[in-house]
A and B are shown apart, each in its own frame.
Chain A
Amino acid sequence: MMPLSNLRDEYDTVVVGAGPAGMAAALSALRTGVETVLMVDREVEPGGILNQCIHNGFGLHHFGEELTGPEYAQRFLTDLLDHHIDIATDCYVLDVTPDRLVTLMSPAVGVRQVLAGAVVLAMGARERTRGAIRIPGQRPSGVMTAGLAQKFVNQMGLLPGKRAVILGSGDIGLIMARRMTLEGVEVPGVFEIMPHANGLTRNIVQCLHDFDIPLHLSTTVVEIHGRDRVEKVTVAPVDDQLRPDLSRAHTVKCDTLLASIGLIPENELSQKLGLRLDPTTAGPVVTSTMETSRDGVFAAGNVVHIHDLVDFVSQEALLAGENAARYVTGRRPPADNIKLSSGANVASVVPHTISSDREHTVYLRVRKPMEKSWLRLGDVYEKRLRYVVPAEMVSLKVRPRFLEHFHGDSLTIDIVPRDEPGREEP
């Protein structure tokens, strides 16, 4: 991307990761007035996971039109290249110290260290694997994550197999069910252990229903068979404790098993840095300015919490970049004064703190689907929600006027049924 021999020893802001989060953060730091920004990615092309998402469905919120992943990435990249920015690709960030000394490795420059005024972490996420859910059975070739299959098909023109069972109804698996069907690979079914799907409703409709691919809820893969290559899998329904009922098991012939069982924020660097992590998101604890528990270290995107829409990634990252620049230029807004916590049917909340004098967007994930509900922010605000599912992030605008008469220092967010409060939904 750039002649890396020009790498400076110091930058106002270093952005780790050049996915949508990294690009938006870099752009917004530059717009907010810092002079030198370095954006680093270990891949050869900027764009992050978007580069392998050749389907459309990106940008409806941010750009008001439907783009493919690479198109969405290109919009940001084009904007970035209008500014003066250093982009180091094929370059791995090995370490970031609390003093913001960043160690980089790339064939172009070898192992180098640069000092950063502020750091934005935007390393994205990795996929959960078979090992993480311990599917018993043999260990043949042909068991892979849906994201790896996506890379094979969309970026390398290869196919993962001829007949692929998909485990888990995460978005990547749904998108891949459609992609593979279009490529001529048979997809006998998608098996989901939960009683509800884990992907966006629009993906269930557009990727499964439209292609007659069956989705089996409350069903999981209990064994993998095959010595060299997958030959079949055993699937079984599960009870409400998620325990498989082996008496109702049957086998499905296939040569490939794709796991689409969720993403985990990529926080090795954050751990080395000693950032406080939130066990519910597996990402760093952040303030309303996306600052982590270390001064001058910000974070945005999937590294903080798993997003389903890239538009929210960009929004969050614009905020992180802006505040990284404010940090460097000594224009930091006043510190937050209210702590947010998850209440009924709320699995996670980001950011973890807010300030009563500004407007904030707060992102939530619910634990279980709920038909008609109230979203309650302590006693200060409530809002009707239509239908909430764990797969779709809920966002809430918190305006200063909600908090005019609030003098406490913490607020709990609950999502409760609209009729009888506290009643379990079927």
Chain B
Amino acid sequence: MIGCAIARELTRYRLDVVLVESEVEVGFGTSKSNSGIIHGGHHTEPGTLKGELAWAGNQRWVRLAQELGFGFRRNGDLTVAFDEADVEVLEKIAQQGRDRDIPGVEIWGPDKIRLEEPNLNQDIIAAVDGPTAGVVNPYEACFALVECAVANGLGLRVGAPVTAIEAGGDGLLVHAGGEPIETQFVINAAGVHAEKVARMVGLLEPTIRGRKGEEYLLDKRLASIVQRTIFPCPTPTSKGILVIPTFDGTIMVGPTAQAVEDLEDVATTAVGAATTFDLARRLVPGISERDCIAEFAGVRAVAGNNDFVVGPTSVPGFFNAAGIQSPGLTAAPAIAEMLVHMLGEAGLDLLPRPEFKRTMPRPVHAASISVGELTEMAERDRRFARVVCRCELVTEAEIHDAIDRGARTLDGLKFRTRAGMGRCQGGFCTSRCMQLLAAESGAAMSDITKRGDGSWLVLDRNQLGTAEVPT
């Protein structure tokens, strides 16, 4: 997310910019595996970069979503109290909101809560209403930012892990497979691997620890059980388990917070599931694990100072946008602006490109238009009348559009179109999506992957005898 936002921000200017990403799709690090909340800005404590940038970032999302056509909705949030001690914390949160001039932050009593969110636990005695909070499809935001940046001249290198960076002399030389990239500036937005990348130029800071969060997605049946994102009263160490109405109308519960050694440990656990559902049920008693359709986990990159690390380093030209833990998604647009400003101060010539294209067409989703509109679309393009994914009503036209926009893997298609994200989790549409990907690229079915190298999906019969499976 951070790299995507910075890349787009930089393409506003007459610059040569390359985004280098080790995965084959952008946004497939932590940014696709989070709660998708654009925080209201009142939760974060003052005196931290996180705190400052959350509200600054929040204010930029409406416009960003309008320009780039990804899913974003201001659904608001409620932070709830079960007892007087909680209420004290709520007072503080509300005060933080007022101090930042965040509109609409106020404390509700039980009657108002029952009226607005009747399915909450009846023992809740007060809540802070944060109307500025929203939800976003974070992967869609990443795709859209990068598609827009590419339209504005960004060089995109995916499937290209940076393995070494030579510093010293007149600039930096980045090795990421293929031709090394000569550059004046490198921005390290490598998420949980930012420490590793910083070490490539000899820096010992920042250090990054991983904190895993598990999330559980529930069936659409529960769709309107809450309107707003529901937060428990936070403790000094955790925001707790939330109940999140996602942009797509499903309910998600999570995230847990668990220190992990392995920075790529995205395994869900039995303990995580049990904790999540117990705590979520405390907020909204109607939630049950029986409605779970999918689960995932992401790892937060926590820097040594427990704050965002944004700015220049002792290595000339090497900048960090690291330690971007929660609310990093929210803050991303503000982080991008801040960083570009810093690059300017460090001597990068920020000459605006008048031809900068700020908007991208919103992809059509059959599921979110009326039958009348769909009928018209199908008159013009009959591929809108062929359903590929029945749970989420995704048509062949949308699949083709996603491939045109850069989807190369099954997950790339899934996160762009929702094909395979519904209740049957791809049971019916996987083979069809694979066929469409294969046809478009002229590849064999056995070359199609879930999300890049090593994640092959099927084998040809003649591959059985070979010792090695494809990579």
25 contacts between A and B (CB under 8 A): A42-B387, A94-B393, A107-B383, A107-B385, A111-B375, A129-B424, A134-B273, A134-B295, A136-B272, A136-B273, A137-B268, A138-B267, A140-B450, A140-B455, A141-B451, A144-B426, A152-B458, A159-B459, A159-B460, A159-B463, A160-B458, A161-B458, A228-B452, A228-B453, A229-B455
- Cβ contacts under 8 Å, A384 to chain B: none
Would you call B266 an interface residue if the criterion is a C-beta within 8 Å of the partner chain's C-beta atoms? yes
* CB <8 Å contact, A111 and B385: yes
* CB <8 Å contact, A136 and B267: yes
Pick the contact of A126 from B266, B428, B451, B457 — CB < 8 Å?
B428
Pick the contact of A229 from B273, B427, B456, B464 — CB < 8 Å?
B456
Would you call A358 an interface residue if the criterion is a C-beta within 8 Å of the partner chain's C-beta atoms? no
Closest B-chain residue to A185, C-beta based? Answer: B464
* CB <8 Å contact, B266 and A139: yes
CB B1 to nearest CB in A, in angstroms, measures 20
Binding site for B on A (CB under 8 A): 42, 90, 92, 94-95, 103, 105-111, 126-127, 129-132, 134, 136-142, 144-145, 147-148, 151-152, 156-162, 183-185, 222-225, 227-229, 255, 268
- Cβ contacts under 8 Å, B456 to chain A: 141, 229
* CB <8 Å contact, B387 and A127: no
Tell whether A126 pairs with B374 under 8 Å between CB atoms, given A136-B267, A148-B431, A159-B460: no
- Cβ contacts under 8 Å, B268 to chain A: 134, 136-137
Would you call B100 an interface residue if the criterion is a C-beta within 8 Å of the partner chain's C-beta atoms? no
Binding site for A on B (CB under 8 A): 216-217, 264, 266-270, 272-273, 289, 292-296, 371, 374-375, 378-379, 382-383, 385-387, 390-391, 393, 395-396, 423-428, 430-431, 445-446, 449-461, 463-464, 469
Tell whether A131 pairs with B292 under 8 Å between CB atoms, given A110-B379, A110-B382, A223-B267: yes
- Cβ contacts under 8 Å, B395 to chain A: 105
- Cβ contacts under 8 Å, B264 to chain A: 227
CB A157 to nearest CB in B, in angstroms, measures 6
CB B356 to nearest CB in A, in angstroms, measures 37
* CB <8 Å contact, B378 and A111: yes
* CB <8 Å contact, A151 and B431: yes
- Cβ contacts under 8 Å, B423 to chain A: 126
* CB <8 Å contact, A105 and B455: no
* CB <8 Å contact, A229 and B428: no
- Cβ contacts under 8 Å, A132 to chain B: 292-293
- Cβ contacts under 8 Å, A103 to chain B: 371
- Cβ contacts under 8 Å, B393 to chain A: 94
* CB <8 Å contact, A141 and B378: no
- Cβ contacts under 8 Å, A152 to chain B: 431, 458
CB B54 to nearest CB in A, in angstroms, measures 29
Distance of A7 Cα from B390 Cα, bound (Å): 23
Closest A-chain residue to B425, C-beta based? Answer: A129
* CB <8 Å contact, B455 and A228: yes
Closest B-chain residue to A246, C-beta based? Answer: B270
Distance of A156 Cα from B432 Cα, bound (Å): 11
Distance of A346 Cα from B36 Cα, bound (Å): 44
Pick the contact of A127 from B374, B424, B450, B452 — CB < 8 Å?
B424
Distance of A325 Cα from B404 Cα, bound (Å): 48
Distance of A134 Cα from B273 Cα, bound (Å): 8
* CB <8 Å contact, A227 and B454: yes
CB A121 to nearest CB in B, in angstroms, measures 15
* CB <8 Å contact, A141 and B455: yes
Closest B-chain residue to A157, C-beta based? Answer: B461
